[in-house]
Amino acid sequence: MRYLKRLWKRHVTGQPDRYQAYISLPTRDDRSAFGEVHGCIEDLEHVFEGRLDVYARVRGIAVATDPVPADQFDRDAFEAALERLEDCYAETHALTRLEKWRPSDNRSVKSFVVVPVKPLFPRDRTDDASRVESAAE
């Protein structure tokens, strides 16, 4: 019966019991990017009511949150925090998001995984073309 209730919440109402997130924050090689993402981490801390952990990684920072009850989760504030994060990485990365429903303690949890990734090809090809032309001269 619990399984059916979780399926009903997921597929019919679209409302989970809880929300959580994992967000990877790469830093630049000059190690100055932590100041830029610090405000983003503070926004996430407000959204998840302080229920998050910040971890140092080899090339960045990771933020992992505890599950927050749905009635205490502000989806608009979460989206605003992600927009600020996207603005922070706009010049170097694209923000990739994955949403997944997971069962946890007989409840439905909606998990967000957010990772800024570098594009495969440079975004501004006009700069590259001018460099090639100037090198040819």
pLDDT tens profile 19-42: 999 999 887 655 445 666 788 888
- What is the pTM for the complete model shown? 0.72
CB burial string 17-52: b at 16+ within 10 A, e below: bbbbbebbbbbeeeeebeeebeebbebbbebbeeeb
pLDDT tens profile 89-136: 888 888 899 988 887 777 788 899 999 888 887 666 555 555 555 555
